[in-house]
Amino acid sequence: MTGIHEADRAENTFDELDTVDVASKTPDEHQPYAELGLRDDEYAKIRDILGRRPTGSELAMYSIMWSEHCSYKSSKVHLKKFSEKNPRTDRMLAGIGENAGVVQITDDLAVTFKVESHNHPSYVEPHQGAATGVGGIVRDILAMGARPVAVMDALRFGDAEHPDTKRVLPGVVSGISFYGNCLGLPNIGGEVVFDPSYQGNPLVNALSVGVLPVTRLQNKNASGVGNVVVLLGQKTGKDGIGGVSVLASATFEDGDTDNRPSVQVGDPFIEKLLIESCLEMYDAELVVGIQDLGGAGLTCALSETAAAAGMGMYVDLDRVPLREASMEAHEVLASESQERMLLIVAPEKLDDVLAVAAKWGVLATAIGQVTAPTSEGGGRLIINWHGQTVVDCPPGSLADDGPIYNRPMKEPNDRALIAADRAETLPRPSTDDELRATVLRMAGSPNLADKTWITEQYDNMVGGNTALSMPDDAGVLRLDNSGTVGSGPIGIALSTDGNGRFTRLDPYTGAQLALAEAYRNVAVTGATPIAASDCLNFGSPEDPHVMWQFAQAVEGLAEGCAQLNIPITGGNVSFYNQTGMTAIHPTPVVAVLGVLDDVRRRVPMGFTNDGDVIVLLGETYAELSGSEWAWSQHAHLGGIPPAVDLAGEQALAAVMKRAAEVEHVSAAHDLSDGGLAQALVESVLRNRVGARIKLPDHADPFVWLFAESTARALVCIPRGHEKAFGALCEEHDVPWTPLGIVDSSAGGIEVVDHFAISTAELAEASEGTLPGLFG
Amino acid sequence: MTARIGVVTFPGSLDDRDAQRAIRLAGAQPIALWHGDTALRGVDAVILPGGFSYGDYLRGGAIARFAPVMETLVDAAKGGLPVLGICNGFQILCESHLLPGALTRNAHLHFRRRSQRLRVENTTSAFTGHFDAGQEIVIPVKNGEGRFVADERTLDALEAEGRVVVRYVDGNPSGAMRDIAGISNAAGNVVGMMPHPEHAVEALTGPSVDGLGLFTSVIAHLGQTAVGAGSS
């Protein structure tokens, strides 16, 4: 009986289409704005903008566009600091606020890159959540006019031993593998970190990078009255509704079949066709404006393109190709179905656009047109459904005029206590045997262990331009955009880094340490860092402590970029990464882009040539708080993180750039998690070539092996270059300490006077962990 | 005269530009062929590149075998045109019955990418003349459905006729039967292999430059057959 009753009611709802006319005549109709996440004052503001109550479709659109995810309402006041402090540069062709930042690197070529989170979907449905995370960021890159050329992923999971991690990690990895591999984009780097703070809130941050001729730069402006609005790609379905929009669940009762999964389902094959068809359209200059459909689907794309141009838009929603006919207007507008782009096309080019789409077998449909601005400025977004107007609003009120909050902030009460709880006072290994055992235990700990079990599921070479990829410090690509040989040996380098533990201890410093590490990882390949992007993963902005962490981290990052003289080109904020009252470690993930004038000079990480001199660059201090040693050996997190030395990072980068250019250096590896000991383990295991190390006489072996002081790197200098390299270090004021030689007869790592570990033993410790946990 | 080697692009082809680059580096001229076009544009040999031809929702290469270009290609291959199928191309050749057996999901069920050591078992095929018999080479392998399977009789026949072209050594990445990485047809002009020789052609990007040998081999093979045809 209940079933029949509900069916009748659904039928009735369908009949009573909530049009603009109906809304004008029924001002007092109760609307479920609170259930949609809108506050009383926000709802009042919408009524004020429209001069009437919103229709159901309009309410859905405002609730999505004014959500935290789309409007950045809690972060906007802080993110301003990036623009305020960004160093001035002529390289930026597009910056913060665009789909992705674009940086010019030669007279003819530009690079665009961005990191974005897909955290919550990846917890609910790891495979599809991670897959569509890759798909989404790739479309952002495509929308700028670029051919996407690579992806990377920064992943954080709960405790490696936790049963749920065994569900989440393999699913996330298979999703990234499935989508990226089928798309033909090499996966050239990333991170995998385990920490109980991410239990229930794993972080899946996907990066994509693309290359474009500067003349092909696209914008999202729906300019030109009479231009046609074209929807390209997948049909629109009910997937992806319910994440931001909860209208369906508010209108209908529990147990309704319309409660579809809120995680989108991806099809990389369609995305591949979308890429090829868009690029062909750009090259033939068929497109006036373009915007990808991601979060908030059509609602976002329609309102943002119209608002960006200051124009109006008319859309006949019935023309949108649907996967199922039963969808209602608000569902079509809110759907986050994947693999769709919105194009603005001049009428005389429409046939050509449809022909290119047909060639690649992609659906393309004219759904509306650009209309003139009104006399008050800006246009009206008018959307018809079944012949009646269901939306009539200023597009800018959706896209730009969302609420902005300066949320309360409070420094956590436990800061002094945490700072006083220093890891430097923890018991240390005191004998050589204990040092040796500690090196091995740490090499096999989940955070430091070999990640091949994950990375071998990714295609890192498709495209034929990958010069370095994980486990090297940065992903390095040859720019060979045309696909021809010898078009130029320029290369780009990319690294993503973050350290939630450091940021937990001190968010300002932690954010700068993430930036410094990404900068250093790029620099040790010989590349010059030129730009940064970020993905800021935090708990609830409604918690004043989280908000304080966020503000501090943004401040630190903005200030750090200013000092390093690299602009932030854009980014992404992910709030609400928390379960109950417990937030994740605040985790700003920073991506740094670098350029190599000659990619053939890129420096790999592994020891290679017998006799090369191993040199430690930088200064080592007794900095162990927040370190991998403190965490993996004592489950300790307290104290003050290592000091930031941005001038030191810049000097190190200058040395590496010059040394790479003149081939003073055959290998280089940055020192970070696990300190010198782990850098040695990784450098030896890379090519199975050993090293003999002698620590300086004054050195405390424990501190030298495990401290995580910054602005340091391990480099290999070919015989005959030592003097010139030393002079280079002195010229740039970079401390340098000869530590030993590359020596395959050492059979592994030998720390003279202390201990030796064979390559086989190192490999067993490092390479057995992940297969043991997840294989 | 420079050899003209065609590379077929299906909508989901991924390594097609890489195959073109390898052809160029080997000294031949790459010619782009389109899946929806039956014309082979007078090419001297054809590469079916890696990727996911039509999305491969059903099975790798299962739909591609019905592509217009395959209609002409199958006949040309039967007439002696050298054809190399790499990864998805190998799957398409098996689905088209130009080669026996099938490629199934890897035994460990994961996509796997690694630098793989191979032994060249046959140096008489159109694509392996520049190698020494038994020579070991390093070529990347990357696939999710790369496990070669066939019935025992077919496997025995392939071995007896010397049609196993390359075999995995130092570990089998997919669980392929008898460690088979690549095979040829009886005439030796059609070769399919799961590893990607086009990704081992430059020191900058590959684990070796061993892959170049497959491309220079077919160019040499074309030179010989051209001379042979002219003198007979």
Torsion over CA: A263, A268, A270, A276 (sign): positive
Task: Count the residues in chain A.
Answer: 775
State the Cα–Cα distance between residues B231 and A604, nearest whole angstrom. 52
Could you count the other beta carbons within 10 Å of the beta carbon of residue A61?
Answer: 30
Q: What is the DSSP letter of B13?
A: B
pLDDT band at A15 (very low <50, low <70, confident <90, very high): low
DSSP-assigned letters across all residues of B65-130: GGSHHHHHHHHHHHTT--EEEETHHHHHHHHTTSSSSEEE--TT-S-EEEEEEEEE--SSSTT-TT
CB crowding A75-97: b at 16 or more within 10 Å, else e: beebbebbeebbeeeebbbbbbe
CB-closest option in B14, B24, B112 to A485: B24
Crossing angle of helices A126-143 and A268-283, rounded to 10°: 0
pLDDT, tens digit, 9 for 90 and up, residues A506-565 = 999 999 999 999 999 999 999 999 999 999 999 999 999 999 999 999 999 999 999 999
pLDDT, tens digit, 9 for 90 and up, residues A197-222 = 999 999 999 999 999 999 999 999 99
User: pLDDT at position A254, please?
Assistant: 39
Instruction: Work out the average pLDDT over A682-706.
Output: 97
Query: Which residues of B are tagged catalytic?
Result: 87, 196, 198
Q: With contact defined as beta carbons under 8 Å apart, do B140 and B159 qualify? A: no
Set of chain A residues whose Cβ sits within 8 Å of the Cβ of B215: none
Q: What is the DSSP letter of A298?
A: H
pLDDT band at A242 (very low <50, low <70, confident <90, very high): low
Residue A529 in tokens: 């860092």
Set of chain A residues whose Cβ sits within 8 Å of the Cβ of B205: 461, 464-467, 478
Containing A656, the helix (H) or strand (E) segment is helix A646-661
**Which residues 58-77 of chain B have a CB within 8 Å of chain A?**
none
pLDDT, tens digit, 9 for 90 and up, residues A301-344 = 999 999 999 999 999 999 999 998 999 999 999 999 999 999 99
Which residues pair with residue A529 across a beta bridge? A594
Select the CATH number that applies to the domain covering A2-66+218-399 from these four: 3.30.540.10, 3.90.1170.50, 3.30.930.10, 3.90.650.10: 3.90.650.10
pTM score, two decimals? 0.94
Domain residue ranges of chain B, discontinuous segments joined by + = 4-231
**Half-sphere exposure of A34 toward its Cβ, with a 13 Å CA cutoff?**
2
For A209, phi then psi, to 5°, come to: -130, 140
Contact with chain A for residue B32, Cβ under 8 A: no
User: pLDDT at position A295, please?
Assistant: 84
Crossing angle of helices A646-661 and A507-523, rounded to 10°: 10
Angle at CA of residue A404, ends A401 and A408, nearest 5°? 175
For A414, phi then psi, to 5°, come to: -90, 10
Q: With contact defined as beta carbons under 8 Å apart, do A196 and A150 qualify? A: no
- Does residue A196 have a cis peptide bond before it, meaning omega lies within 30 degrees of 0? no
| Interface test with chain A among B194, B205, B209, B215, by most A beta carbons within 10 Å | B205
CB crowding A371-393: b at 16 or more within 10 Å, else e: beeeeeebbbbbbbbeeebbbbb
Q: Is the pLDDT of residue A245 over 60?
A: no
State the Cα–Cα distance between residues B144 and B147, nearest whole angstrom. 8
User: pLDDT at position A246, please?
Assistant: 43
Residue A376 in tokens: 């008050």
pLDDT band at A253 (very low <50, low <70, confident <90, very high): very low
Contact with chain B for residue A461, Cβ under 8 A: yes
CB contact (8 A) between residue A457 and residue B110 = yes
Q: Which fold has domain A443-449+604-775?
A: Phosphoribosyl-aminoimidazole Synthetase; Chain A, domain 2 (3.90.650)
Residues of chain A with CATH 3.90.650.10: 2-66+218-399, 443-449+604-775
State the Cα–Cα distance between residues A167 and A159, nearest whole angstrom. 12
CB-closest option in A272, A360, A467 to B205: A467
pLDDT band at A660 (very low <50, low <70, confident <90, very high): very high
pLDDT band at A16 (very low <50, low <70, confident <90, very high): confident
CB-closest option in B11, B111, B202 to A361: B11
CB contact (8 A) between residue A462 and residue B15 = yes
Set of chain A residues whose Cβ sits within 8 Å of the Cβ of B57: 269
The candidate with the shortest Cα–Cα distance to B160, out of B125, B186, B181, B182, is: B186
- Residue contacts between A and B (CB atoms, under 8 Å): 87
State the Cα–Cα distance between residues A729 and A731, nearest whole angstrom. 5
CB contact (8 A) between residue B205 and residue A461 = yes
| Interface test with chain A among B14, B25, B34, B208, by most A beta carbons within 10 Å | B14
DSSP-assigned letters across all residues of B19-62: HHHHHHHHT-EEEEEETT----TT-SEEEE-SB-TT--SSSTTT
Average pLDDT, chain B: 94
Set of chain A residues whose Cβ sits within 8 Å of the Cβ of B113: 456-461
Set of chain B residues whose Cβ sits within 8 Å of the Cβ of A184: 14-15, 51
DSSP-assigned letters across all residues of A666-735: SEEEE--TTHHHHHHHHHHHHHT--EEE---TT--HHHHHH---SS-EEEEE-TT-HHHHHHHHHHTT--
State the Cα–Cα distance between residues A346 and A357, nearest whole angstrom. 16
Q: Return left, alpha or beta for A747; rule: phi > 0 is left, psi -120 to 50 is alpha, else beta.
A: left
User: pLDDT at position A249, please?
Assistant: 29
For B125, phi then psi, to 5°, come to: -70, 165
User: pLDDT at position A376, please?
Assistant: 81
Strand, helix or coil for residue A183: helix
CB contact (8 A) between residue A464 and residue B205 = yes
pLDDT, tens digit, 9 for 90 and up, residues A360-380 = 999 999 999 999 999 888 899
pLDDT band at B41 (very low <50, low <70, confident <90, very high): very high
State the Cα–Cα distance between residues A546 and A584, nearest whole angstrom. 10
Q: What is the DSSP letter of A174?
A: H
User: pLDDT at position A95, please?
Assistant: 84
CA distances A8 to A56, A256, A281, Å, are 20, 13, 47
Task: Give every strand in the sheet of A528-537, ordered side by side.
Answer: A466-468, A475-478, A491-497, A587-596, A528-537, A568-574
Q: With contact defined as beta carbons under 8 Å apart, do B165 and B184 qualify? A: yes
State the Cα–Cα distance between residues A571 and A116, nearest whole angstrom. 7
Q: Is the pLDDT of residue A251 over 80?
A: no
Which residues pair with residue A391 across a beta bridge? A383
User: pLDDT at position A243, please?
Assistant: 53
Q: Quick one: A12 exposed, middle or buried, by C-beta within 10 A (0-12, 13-18, 19+)?
A: exposed
Contact with chain A for residue B18, Cβ under 8 A: yes
CB-closest option in B24, B111, B196 to A181: B111
Strand, helix or coil for residue A125: coil
Q: Which of A118, A127, A669, A721 is catalytic?
A: A118
CA distances A190 to B3, B26, B112, Å, are 41, 34, 18
Lowest mean pLDDT among A28-42, A582-596, B180-194: A28-42
Nearest CA to CA, how far is A325 from chain B (Å)? 25
ipTM of the complex: 0.94
pLDDT, tens digit, 9 for 90 and up, residues A453-509 = 999 999 999 999 999 999 999 999 999 754 333 445 899 999 999 999 999 999 999
Average pLDDT, chain A: 92
State the Cα–Cα distance between residues A73 and A68, nearest whole angstrom. 6
Give the chain A residue nearest B30 (alpha carbons). Answer: A484
Set of chain B residues whose Cβ sits within 8 Å of the Cβ of A183: 14
Angle at CA of residue B207, ends B206 and B212, nearest 5°? 60
Q: Quick one: A21 exposed, middle or buried, by C-beta within 10 A (0-12, 13-18, 19+)?
A: middle
User: pLDDT at position A377, please?
Assistant: 80
What is the residue type of B218? V
Set of chain A residues whose Cβ sits within 8 Å of the Cβ of B68: none
pLDDT, tens digit, 9 for 90 and up, residues A433-460 = 999 999 999 999 999 999 999 999 999 9
Residue B229 in tokens: 């045809």
Set of chain B residues whose Cβ sits within 8 Å of the Cβ of A484: 21, 24
The candidate with the shortest Cα–Cα distance to A370, out of A397, A390, A350, A340, is: A350
Q: Is the pLDDT of residue A291 over 80?
A: yes
Contact with chain B for residue A184, Cβ under 8 A: yes
Instruction: Give me the architecture of the B4-231 domain, per CATH.
Output: 3-Layer(aba) Sandwich (3.40)
For A354, phi then psi, to 5°, come to: -65, -35
Angle at CA of residue A590, ends A589 and A593, nearest 5°? 150
For A281, phi then psi, to 5°, come to: -65, -40
Could you count the other beta carbons within 10 Å of the beta carbon of residue A758?
Answer: 14
Residue A387 in tokens: 């012949």
What percentage of residues in chain A have a pLDDT greater than 90?
A: 86
Which residues pair with residue A531 across a beta bridge? A593
Nearest CA to CA, how far is B196 from chain A (Å)? 10
Q: Return left, alpha or beta for A688; rule: phi > 0 is left, psi -120 to 50 is alpha, else beta.
A: left
State the Cα–Cα distance between residues A201 and A120, nearest whole angstrom. 7
Contact with chain A for residue B52, Cβ under 8 A: yes
What is the residue type of A598? D
User: pLDDT at position A94, please?
Assistant: 87
State the Cα–Cα distance between residues A602 and A598, nearest whole angstrom. 8
State the Cα–Cα distance between residues B115 and B208, nearest whole angstrom. 9
State the Cα–Cα distance between residues A19 and A58, nearest whole angstrom. 10
Q: Is the pLDDT of residue A121 over 60?
A: yes
| Interface test with chain A among B113, B196, B209, by most A beta carbons within 10 Å | B113
CB contact (8 A) between residue A462 and residue B50 = yes
For tokens 């109906």, name the residue. A22
Q: What is the DSSP letter of A294?
A: B
The candidate with the shortest Cα–Cα distance to A440, out of A673, A2, A758, is: A758
State the Cα–Cα distance between residues A300 and A317, nearest whole angstrom. 14
Instruction: Work out the average pLDDT over A601-626.
Output: 97
Nearest CA to CA, how far is A281 from chain B (Å)? 16
State the Cα–Cα distance between residues A739 and B188, nearest whole angstrom. 56
Q: What is the DSSP letter of B136?
A: E
Give the chain B residue nearest A775 (alpha carbons). Answer: B108
Q: Is the pLDDT of residue A81 over 80?
A: yes
Containing A392, the helix (H) or strand (E) segment is strand A388-393
